[in-house]
């Protein structure tokens, strides 16, 4: 996605509408996981922000990228999601259409100047080249993810309902509170039925009540089969959410472990110090 | 001083009695400038958005030229259009010189850079905020442009108004390509210029008052719309 406007993604051109529907159906069953990250590097000038990171993400897991500010967590997430081009290494998804099966929620929710419902409808209606379907008259019958166009409005309402914000459907999204906006952002991402959901410190600027609501939604999304890859520097949040912890320090992955052993027997002095709340820099 | 006061009182009398000559000039002015603004906006807003979202070698030069063209001297634009449309010019066969159409063309050319440059800045600022979200949603450049133009519509209204202000207030270009022909191409600014040179200050003042009032009212309406919309949509 980083080169979205210079190198357009391959446009598939099946011969018939039926063939396109078959393609969509096929896409829904082909998993983009596991994700295999090999020796990933990202540098800005002489500064190497991600230094040879390697790991594998399995389906259904809740992966927390943990580390202090400046460790490279957000950069890593953007690299995986395709918002930044890597300087080196490889990001290998199991299926080529990976960019259409992932979504991202940012630390500061970005809301369009529309109602909450329209924000979700917008993302549902966005055409993903090669995934559009048309009826026999050539009219669009489904949106980019295979939703029927007539279903988009109800899908948006259902998404808001799942995050407990159905009553705010017609409120301008930018006039909602920070916590509500983040829940709308989660509803928008969830509505796309992503196989992988990236979350970049989604509760960093929220109070405990809003944080609890967001964490419950993340668990709910994960229960539907969506793999979670999330950054945070909040130890408590890691304990509440993670099934696996990737500990980053100065751009290096220095610990990759299941959540329980990570906290009980950290293998690196940096991770042990971070867990104790000591300053690493 | 008494001449000044008398000029004003006569001017208000002309306005109050809806003087037909005055109305004809005002109507033509609004028609010409509104048409120019519509055409220029239809071209400049998408162009500004495209420039904001496009990265190519020489982009900064294009932006610098566009920004520089915001200060195009109207008489130079008028001269260029005159040369194009004059009988010996490349488009002379169209017979457009000294017609309202020629005035629309001149004003469109004059305000296109203003609207495009301001739109480019507005959309580029918005792009820096929306970029990651739109890219995350796999929006194409065209989809991003449309989304940003729609989302920034109330801010872009200011760019369009700046264009309208420039169009309705300029005199040089329309004077050259329109010729200030009574009943055909005479607009408020050219009429003010003519009436002043004739010494008919009352008519000139009346037109001046109307011109300023129109500009103020349109800007006030736009400001109210923008403020209300921003409050409603965030």
pLDDT digits (tens, 9 = 90+) for A210-237: 999 999 999 999 999 999 999 998 999 9
Q: Does the structure show a pLDDT above 90 at A239?
A: yes
Residue A277: its pLDDT value, please? 86
Between chains, do B138 and A2 touch, taking CB under 8 Å as contact? no
Q: Map tokens 């037909």 to a residue.
A: B20
First CA to last CA distance, chain B: 51
- Residue A6 placed within a domain: no
B131 is written with which tokens? Answer: 């970029």
Strands A244-249 and A62-66: parallel
Phi, psi angles (nearest 5°) of residue A227: -80, 135
Query: At residue A199, does pLDDT exceed 80?
Result: yes
Chain B residues close to A123, C-beta within 8 Å: 137
Please give the DSSP secondary-structure letter assigned to residue A12.
P
**What is d(CA B118, CA B111) in angstroms, rounded to the nearest whole number?**
11
Please give the C-alpha separations between residue A3 and each of A42, A74, B54, B95, B134, in angstroms, as whole numbers. 16, 19, 12, 49, 13
Contact status, residue A105 vs residue A77, Cβ threshold 8 Å: no
* B221 or A9, which is more confident: B221
What whole-number distance in Å separates Cα of residue A60 and Cα of residue A38?
A: 20
ipTM of the complex, rounded to two decimals: 0.82
Contact B138 A1 (CB under 8 A): yes
Across the interface, do A110 and B139 touch by the CB < 8 Å criterion? no
Name the residue among A9, A103, A172 with its Cβ closest to that of B136: A103
Note the pLDDT tens digit of each residue in B6-63. Answer: 778 888 888 889 889 989 999 999 999 999 999 999 999 999 999 999 999 999 999 9
- d(CA A175, nearest CA chain B) in Å: 6
Residue of A122, A185, A110, A130 lying closest to A153 (CA atoms): A122
The model's pLDDT over A264-274, given as tens digits with 9 standing for 90+, comes to 999 999 999 99
Give B130's contacts in chain A (Cβ within 8 Å).
Answer: 110, 112
Rounded-to-integer distance, Cα B6 and Cα B69, Å: 41
The CATH number for A249's domain is 3.40.50.300
Average pLDDT over all residues of chain B: 94
Residue A132 has pLDDT above 50, yes or no: no
Q: Is residue A10 part of a domain?
A: no
Q: Cα dist. B9→A118, B25, B215 in Å?
A: 54, 20, 21
pLDDT for A121 equals 95
Output the pLDDT for position B5. Answer: 83
Q: Has residue A37 been placed in a domain?
A: no
Pairing of strands A140-142, A47-57: unpaired
Q: Which helix (H) or strand (E) holds A54?
A: strand A47-57
Q: Beta strand A140-142 with A133-134: parallel, antiparallel or unpaired? A: antiparallel
Q: What pLDDT, on the 0 to 100 scale, is given for residue A146?
A: 57
Give the count of domains, chain A: 1
CB contact under 8 A, A110 and B129: yes
By the 8 A CB rule, do B85 and B91 touch?
A: yes
Under the phi-then-psi rule, with left for phi > 0, alpha for psi from -120 to 50, and beta for the rest, what region is A250?
left
What local confidence, expressed as pLDDT, does residue A148 receive? 58
CATH number belonging to the domain at B2-233, selected among 1.10.3720.10, 1.10.390.10, 2.40.10.120, 1.10.357.10: 1.10.3720.10
In chain B, which residue's Cα lies nearest the Cα of A170?
Answer: B233
Range of the domain at A267: 17-30+60-85+97-276
B102-156: per-residue pLDDT in tens? 999 999 999 999 999 999 999 999 999 999 999 999 999 999 999 999 999 999 9
For strands A252-258 and A244-249, give the pairing: antiparallel
Token pair recorded at residue B98: 């000294």
Q: Are A112 and B147 within 8 A, CB to CB?
A: yes
Alpha-carbon distance B189 to nearest alpha carbon in chain A (angstroms) = 39
């Amino acid at each position: 996605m980083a080169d979205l406007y210079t190198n357009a993604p391959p446009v598939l051109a099946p011969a018939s509408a039926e063939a396109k529907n078959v393609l969509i159906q096929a896409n829904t069953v082909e998993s983009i996981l596991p994700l295999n990250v090999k020796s990933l590097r990202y540098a800005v000038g002489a500064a190497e922000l991600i230094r040879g990171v390697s790991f594998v993400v399995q389906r259904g897991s809740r992966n927390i990228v943990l580390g202090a500010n400046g460790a490279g967590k957000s950069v890593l997430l953007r690299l995986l999601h395709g918002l930044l081009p890597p300087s080196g290494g490889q990001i290998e998804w199991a299926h080529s259409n990976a960019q259409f099966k992932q979504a991202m929620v940012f630390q500061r929710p970005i809301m369009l100047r529309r109602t909450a419902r329209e924000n979700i409808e917008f993302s549902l209606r966005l055409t993903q080249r090669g995934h559009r379907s048309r009826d026999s008259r050539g009219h669009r019958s489904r949106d980019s993810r295979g939703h029927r166009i007539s279903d988009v409005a109800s899908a948006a309402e259902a998404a808001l309902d799942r995050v407990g914000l159905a009553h705010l459907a017609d409120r301008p999204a930018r006039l909602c509170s920070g916590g509500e906006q983040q829940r709308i952002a989660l509803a928008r991402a969830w509505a796309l039925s992503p196989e992988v959901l990236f979350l970049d410190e989604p509760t960093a600027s929220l109070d405990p009540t809003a944080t609890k609501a967001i964490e419950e939604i993340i668990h709910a999304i994960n229960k539907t089969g969506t793999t979670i890859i999330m950054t945070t520097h909040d130890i408590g949040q890691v304990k509440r959410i993670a099934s696996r912890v990737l500990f980053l320090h100065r751009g290096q992955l220095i610990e990759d472990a299941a959540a329980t052993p990570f906290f009980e027997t950290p293998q690196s002095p940096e991770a042990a110090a971070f867990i104790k709340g000591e300053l690493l820099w | 001083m008494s001449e000044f006061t008398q000029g004003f009182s006569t001017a208000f009398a002309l306005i109050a009695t809806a003087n037909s000559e005055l109305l004809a000039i005002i109507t033509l002015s609004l028609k010409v400038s509104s048409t120019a603004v519509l055409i220029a906006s239809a071209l400049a807003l998408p162009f500004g958005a495209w420039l904001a979202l496009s990265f190519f070698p020489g982009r900064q030069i294009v932006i610098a030229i566009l920004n520089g063209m915001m200060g195009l001297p109207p008489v130079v634009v008028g001269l260029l259009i005159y040369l194009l449309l004059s009988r010996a010019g490349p488009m002379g066969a169209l017979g457009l010189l000294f017609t309202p159409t020629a005035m629309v063309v001149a004003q469109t050319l004059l305000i296109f850079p203003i609207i495009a440059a301001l739109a480019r800045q507005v959309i580029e600022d918005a792009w820096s905020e929306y970029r990651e979200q739109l890219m995350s949603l796999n929006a194409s450049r065209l989809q991003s442009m449309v989304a940003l133009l729609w989302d920034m519509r109330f801010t872009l209204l200011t760019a369009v108004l700046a264009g309208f202000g420039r169009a309705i207030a300029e005199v040089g270009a329309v004077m050259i390509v329109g010729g200030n022909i009574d009943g055909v191409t005479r607009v408020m600014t050219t009429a003010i210029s003519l009436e002043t040179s004739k010494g008919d200050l009352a008519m000139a003042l009346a037109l001046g008052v109307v011109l300023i009032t129109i500009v103020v009212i349109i800007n006030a309406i736009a400001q109210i719309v923008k403020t209300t919309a921003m409050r409603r949509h965030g």
